[in-house]
Amino acid sequence: MKFRAQLASIALAALGAAGTLTARADSGWSQLNMTQGVTDISRRIYDLHMAIFWVCVAIGVLVFGVMIWSLIKYRKSRGAVADTTLLHSTRVEVIWTVVPVLILVLMAVPAARTLVAIEDTSKTGLTIKVTGFQWGWRYDYLDDGVGFYSHLDRKSDAARELTSGIDPNTVDHYLLSVDHPLVVPVDTKVRLLITGADVIHSWWVPAFGVKKDAIPGFINEAWFKVDTDKPGLYRGQCAELCGRDHGFMPIVVDVRTKADYAAWLKQEQAAQKPATPPAAAANTAAPAT
């Protein structure tokens, strides 16, 4: 049959593609789950995610199990005769209304606790204003007189052009590296004041469990505190459609030890002194809400 032949060729094409994929060495296949991240909040979010996931799996196994059992056992082809008297049962219906309510209440408690912790922006050690714009980020260290723009790095920018001829696999951290990363110290509650200069953007770093919209006219608050033993580079992306180059405004946070951070800050302050005073950098601020 012609149709079968077509099907076979589709299947073969799919298999071929899968074959070339497995031949590649990197670990794309294993990217299946949310990151646990490097902050207390991100781990609590991960635990919540896994808890609700397993609740869903348990309910799924139960409900799908009953249905699959019916599909096998009550087939007409196996001579099953319908019991047309089964119209409703108040007892069963009450059970399957009340039990889900209880499960939901049990899930809502840890979710609410985590949310309360996330919303606590008190006692912060460092405040940075984050401004999203088309298409990049600006960071202003409000208390230290340091500020800079952060754009997609040049290598990615060249490779991402239509018909650039550059294989993205040859670019280091393609689309996830910037010319000037945000630098913060470990073990410090870093408060972000997030706003947008033109349209709405969203500042997201999965490893911190932080995603907050950058909205013109609003100043949103978010915070993160990276574990002492986890300095390093953490990467994220804009998470709200913001126009043509929405996919090309990554976020990189360079988390350093406190001593390294202090040294970096001193160097930046020296370098930026003759340039813009901090007041000028603040002129994109919009009315508070």
Partner 1 sequence: MSTAAHADSHDDHDHKPHGWRRWVYATNHKDIGTMYLVFSGCMFFVGGMFAEGIRAELFKPGMQLFDPQFFNSLTTMHGLVMIFGVIMPSFVGLANWMIPMQVGAPDMALPRLNNFSFWILPFAFTLLLSSFFVPGGAPAGGWTMYPPLTLQTGASFPMLIFSIHLMGASSILGAINVIVTIMNMRAPGMTLLKMPMFVWSWLITAYLLIAVMPVLAGAVTMQLTDHYFGTTFFTAAGGGDPVMFQHIFWFFGHPEVYIMILPAFGIVSEIIPTFSRKPLFGYEAMVYAIASIAFLSFIVWAHHMFTVGMPLAAQLFFMLSTMLIAVPTGVKIFNWAATMWHGSLSFEPPMLFALAFVFLFSIGGFSGLMLAMVPADYQYQDTYFVVAHFHYVLVTGALFGIMAAIYYWLPKWTGHMYDLKLGTWHFWLSTIFVNVLFFPQHFLGLAGMPRRIPDYAVQFTDWNMVSSIGAFGFGLSQFLFLYLIIKCVRGGVRADSRVWEGAHGLEWELTSPPPFHSWSTPPSAAVIAHGAEH
Stretch of 22-30, 123-131, 138-146, 259-267 lying at the interface with partner 1 (CB under 8 A):
22-30
67-84 as b/e: b if 16+ CB within 10 A: eeeeeeeeeeeeeeeeee
Integer Cα distance of 165 and 119 in angstroms: 46
Cβ proximity to partner 1, 97 vs 122, nearer residue? 97
Which of 49, 154, 258, 273 lies at the binding interface for partner 1 (CB under 8 A)? 49
Q: How far is the CB of 140 from partner 1 (least distance, A)?
A: 19
Q: What is the DSSP letter of 81?
A: -
Chain positions 139 to 158 lying near partner 1, rule: CB under 8 A, are: none
First to last CA, the chain: 67
Residue 108 has, within 13 A of its CA and on its CB side, a CA count of 6
Quote the CA–CA distance of 289 and 277 in Å, as a whole number. Answer: 26
Which one among 12, 63, 263, 282 touches partner 1, defined by CB under 8 A? 63
Of 19, 29, 259, 279, which one interacts with partner 1 (CB under 8 A)?
Answer: 29
Give the pair of three-digit tokens for residue 28.
């794309």
Helix, strand, or coil (residue 116): helix
Report if residue 259 touches partner 1, rule: CB under 8 A.
Answer: no
- Beta-bridged to residue 213, according to DSSP, are 202
Nearer to partner 1 by Cβ, of 142 and 166: the residue is 166
DSSP element (H, E) containing 191: strand 190-196
The CB-of-279 to partner 1 minimum distance in angstroms stands at 20
Sheet containing 146-150, strands listed edge to edge, beginning at the edge strand earlier in sequence? 146-150, 136-141, 126-133, 190-196, 220-224
Among 8, 12, 61, 74, binds partner 1 (CB under 8 A): 74
Among residues 164, 228, 267, 276, the one that binds partner 1 under rule CB under 8 A: 164
d(C-alpha 119, C-alpha 117), whole Å: 5
In the bound complex, what is the minimum distance in angstroms from residue 125's beta carbon to partner 1?
22
Please list every residue from 204 through 243 that binds partner 1, using CB under 8 A.
204, 206, 209-213, 215-218, 220-221, 236-243
Among 100, 262, 263, 275, which residue sits at the site for partner 1 (rule: CB under 8 A)?
100
Task: Give yes or no for residue 2 binding partner 1 (CB under 8 A).
Answer: no
Q: Which of 60, 233, 262, 280 binds partner 1 (CB under 8 A)?
A: 60
Site for partner 1 in 173-192 (CB under 8 A): 173-176
**In this chain, which stretch among 168-176, 183-191, 257-265, 270-278 interacts with partner 1, using CB under 8 A?**
168-176
The footprint of partner 1 on residues 77-96 (CB under 8 A) is 77, 80-84, 86-89, 92-93, 96
Collapsing DSSP states into helix, strand and coil, what is residue 3?
helix
Q: Is 259 left (phi over 0), alpha (psi -120 to 50) or beta?
A: alpha
Of 185 and 209, nearer to partner 1 (C-beta) is 209
